[in-house]
Amino acid sequence: MYQALYRKWRPKNFNDVYGQPHVTRTLQSQLESGRISHAYLFTGSRGTGKTTCAKILSKAVNCLNPVDGNPCNECEICRGIENGSILDVIEIDAASNNGVDNIRDLREEANFTPANAKFRVYIIDEVHMLSIGAFNALLKTLEEPPSHVIFILATTEIHKLPSTILSRCQRFDFKRIAPEDITARLMYVAEKENVTLTPNAASLIARIADGGMRDALSLLDRCFAMGTDINEDTVSDAAGIAGTIHLFSFSEYVAKGDFTSALKLVSKLHSDSCDIDSLCTELTLHFRNLMVAKTVNECEGLIVCSNDELLKIKERAGELKLSKILSCIEILEQTAKNIKNAANKKIQLEAAVIKMCAPSASSGEGISPDLEERIVAIEEKLAALSSAKPAASQPSPAPVQKPAPAAPSEPKPEPEEEKPPLPPAPEADIPDGDFKGWPEVLEKIMRYDIPLYGIMANSTASIKNGRVVIHSENPTLFDFICTDTHSKELARAVFEVVGKKMKIAVSNTEKPKAATSPLENLKNKINNFNSNGGQ
pLDDT in tens, 115-161: 888 999 999 999 999 999 899 888 888 888 888 999 999 999 999 99
**pLDDT of residue 244 exceeding 80:** no
Total number of residues shown for the chain = 535
**pLDDT of residue 448 exceeding 80:** no
Instruction: Give the model's pLDDT for residue 478.
Output: 74
**pLDDT of residue 463 exceeding 70:** yes
Instruction: Give the model's pLDDT for residue 211.
Output: 86
**46-83: pLDDT as tens digits:** 889 999 999 999 999 999 999 889 999 999 999 999 88
Q: Tell the CATH topology of 244-361.
A: Zinc Finger, Delta Prime; domain 3 (1.20.272)
CATH placement of domain 5-174: 3.40.50.300
Domain locations in the chain?
Answer: 5-174, 179-239, 244-361, 414-519
The residue type found at 468 is V
Q: Which of 41-45, 245-249, 280-284, 422-426 has the lowest mean pLDDT?
A: 422-426
Segment 430-436 mean pLDDT? 76
The residue type found at 380 is E
Please, what CATH class does the domain formed by 414-519 belong to? alpha beta
Q: In angstroms, rounded to a whole number, what is the distance separating the alpha carbons of residues 320 and 103?
A: 59
- pTM of the complete model: 0.58
**pLDDT of residue 472 exceeding 90:** no
Residue that wins the pLDDT comparison between 34 and 500:
34
**349-363: pLDDT as tens digits:** 999 988 888 765 444
Q: In angstroms, rounded to a whole number, what is the distance separating the alpha carbons of residues 153 and 51?
A: 9
pLDDT, the chain, mean: 81
Single out the residue of 441, 443, 445 nearest to residue 497, CA to CA.
Answer: 441
**pLDDT of residue 441 exceeding 50:** yes
**pLDDT of residue 265 exceeding 80:** yes
Peptide bond into 420 cis (omega under 30): yes
SS3 117: coil
**Cβ–Cβ under 8 Å, residues 138 and 26:** no
Element (H, E) at 82: helix 76-83
Confirm or reject CATH 1.10.8.60 for domain 179-239, answering yes or no. Answer: yes
Segment 98-114 mean pLDDT? 88
**pLDDT of residue 535 exceeding 70:** no
Segment 205-223 mean pLDDT? 89
